[in-house]
Amino acid sequence: MTHDRDQHPNRPHRNFYGRLKGKHLKPSQEGYLAEDLDALSPGLVDWDANPDRTDLDLTGLFGGKPVWLEIGFGGGEHLVHQCASNPDVGIIGCEPYINGVAMLLGKIRKAGVENLAVYPGDVRDMFDVLPEASIDKAFLLYPDPWPKSRHHRRRFVTPEHLAPLARVLKPGSEFRVATDIPDYVRQTMEQVPQFDFTWTAERPDDWRTPWDDWISTRYEQKALREDRTPHYMTFIRT
């Protein structure tokens, strides 16, 4: 998913931090990637396929259904759960870590869900081609915490990511953030409202209690085992 910038001189320079692939994939996971990924990947996201950054045809992709976006779906359990629970919605999942993509594809086969698209790359490339005010709900669940102070600028909750997210979300749409890192909560609360989002919490339980349709992810289970407290923040795009 990485291409020579000289081939596309208008492509913005974007540093990417984090792993793209783990040490190995299981043979079954290699099969999922080879057999299933292309059919689930929306066209015109990569620069080679769409150097002019033409908007995705979301109506063609999902038949006019409301569209949700999950940013960094990890192992994919939440994404598959939401697809199965909301067949009247189309969901786009973006994840650059190919091992996580392979895990998701296995879960898709098992669950038999079809109302989704998978982009195995940087969500910023997806933001380039999503039409303005086209997304009805977005999820940022247990993102990479980048705990060192000098790395906080790598977090998702920075202007580089929040500005295009705000552009593609519809007014009145919901943006959910879950994290077990207190300083990530701090940065989220400082940064997100600056981009036309309103925090919905009115009492402590509103950010201590998960959403009614929540399914606990493997990242959350790890946090709980290590005695870290999950936080659940809900914002509305104004």
pLDDT value of position 25 = 84
Mean pLDDT of 28-39: 92
Judged by DSSP in three states, 177 sits in: strand
pTM (global) more than 0.75 = yes
pLDDT value of position 33 = 92
Q: What is the pLDDT of residues 41-66, one digit of tens each?
A: 998 898 888 999 999 999 999 999 99
Question: HSE (CB half, 13 Å, CA atoms) of 115?
Answer: 20
The mean of the pLDDT values for the chain is 91
Q: What is the pLDDT of residues 53-108, one digit of tens each?
A: 999 999 999 999 999 999 999 899 999 999 999 999 999 999 998 999 999 999 99
Active-site residues, by number, are 144
In angstroms, the CA 128 to CA 44 distance is 10
Element of type H or E holding 91: strand 90-94
Ordered by where they begin, the domains of the chain are 27-45+57-237 (3.40.50.150)
In angstroms, the CA 127 to CA 121 distance is 11
